[in-house]
Amino acid sequence: MKKLILWVFLLIAFTAAVPLLILSPFSEKQTDIDDIRYGGPEIKVLHSKTKEIMTVPLEKYLVGVVAAEMPAEFPPEALKAQAVAARSYALKKMQDGLNGEGHPGVHVCTDHNHCQAWLSEEEMKKCWGKKAPEYIKKITQAVLGTRGIVLTYENKLIEPVYHSTSSGRTENSEDVWQAKIPYLRSTASPWDKDSPKFRQEISMPLEEVDRKLGTSLSAVPAGTFSQSSPVQILEHTHTGRAKSVEIGGRVFSARELREKLSLPSTDFTCKIKGGEIIFITRGYGHGVGMSQYGAKGMAEEGYTYQEILKHYYTGVSLSRAYR
Ligand SMILES: [Zn+2]
């Protein structure tokens, strides 16, 4: 009889554990993302450094993207928002087919300047050391917890651009690029003030500025700068970022200036001191779409990933592209 009771108990315990096993694709001890059965569509990825072409389940690829694009310490809801943005981007590239710009034969590459950054599991382990099992698990849960979910506008996948830190308000797409995109509208992002990248001071010798911009600031007698600044912001965006700038008699778009001088943002003031130009910048990145530090702040205040995404992408819907 005792034996029977034991068997019944074991049977009940096993039955109760089955849904748990199904619900938790990533068990406590498991840290190897290769062991998970991802299913779903597969994506062709060009590793920009090694030139290797990988065909991987889209969900697995996304673990590497979230790991590379957002700090793993960020709260789960922020990581989920990042996963959905990254999935929408990747799926859009897959819809475009294998003849995409820059790399025929694959959907995406791992160069963050062209597509999305990506880390292999090996790179994650190297990056995070002892914390790797915890972070890999956390990111995998954020990806699989939003499995198949994408952002759409009028039933089409959106271009989910994002940046690190805004200057307190995100930008309208047409103020940074040419096109006016209905879901990339300026919105408040007060959480960004807590980002370590919110305010930065960048000093550059005048010779370096001349070399990068083709100006001749270093040839101007130092006293001249105390009377008139050689840098004039000609036009601002509605959030107060520079839009076009005159420097040393030449006119640049603020975006061009930011790229040429590797400035964190186009929201800046500057002064000349000694033989150097000092830029004081606010925010980090182009300022359009989701702010990652904003997403972190919202998650810490209890917002869900759906609320975060709908805040930064105006008028979008979340829908499931596959199960
Ligand atoms: Zn690419």
For 119-131, the pLDDT digits (tens) are: 999 999 999 999 9
The full set of domain ranges for the chain reads: 38-164+287-320, 199-282
CA 87 to centroid of ligand 1, rounded, Å: 15
Task: Pick the more confident residue, 217 or 160.
Answer: 160
| 4-55 tens-digit pLDDT | 555 555 455 544 444 444 444 444 444 566 667 787 899 999 999 999 999 9
Distance 252 CA to ligand 1 centre (A): 27
pLDDT for res 23? 42
Q: State the chain's mean pLDDT as an integer.
A: 88
Strands 242-247 and 250-253, bridge-based pairing: antiparallel
What are phi and psi for residue 229, nearest 5 degrees? -75, 140
- Ligand 1 centroid–CA 9 distance in Å is 55
296 has a pLDDT exceeding 80: yes
What is the rounded CA–CA span in Å between residue 295 and residue 308?
6
Instruction: Flag whether the pTM goes above 0.85.
Output: no
Q: pLDDT tens across 70-89, in order?
A: 999 999 999 999 999 999 99
Q: For residue 272, report the distance from its CA to the centre of ligand 1, in Å.
A: 38
Residue ranges near ligand 1 (ion) with Cβ within 5 Å: 109, 114-115
CA distance 187 to 167: 11
Closest CA to 255 of 183, 171, 198, 311: 171
For the segment 248-265, what is each residue's pLDDT rounded down to a tens digit?
889 999 999 999 999 999
Q: How far is the CA of 153 from the centre of ligand 1 (A)?
A: 23
Terminal C-alpha separation, the chain: 45
Task: Find the 102 Cα to ligand 1 centroid distance in Å.
Answer: 6
pLDDT for the residue numbered 280:
93
Residues 6+ apart with CB under 8 A from 322: 40, 41, 148
CA–centroid distance, 113 to ligand 1, in Å, is 8
Q: 308 near 198, Cβ under 8 Å?
A: no
Structure-model confidence comparison of residues 297 and 23, the more confident one:
297
Give me ligand 1 centre to Cα 287, in Å.
21
- 1 CA to centre of ligand 1 in angstroms: 66
Q: Ligand 1 mean position to 108 CA, how many Å?
A: 5
Q: Is-contact 254 243, C-beta < 8 A? A: yes
96 C-alpha vs ligand 1 centroid, how far in Å? 13
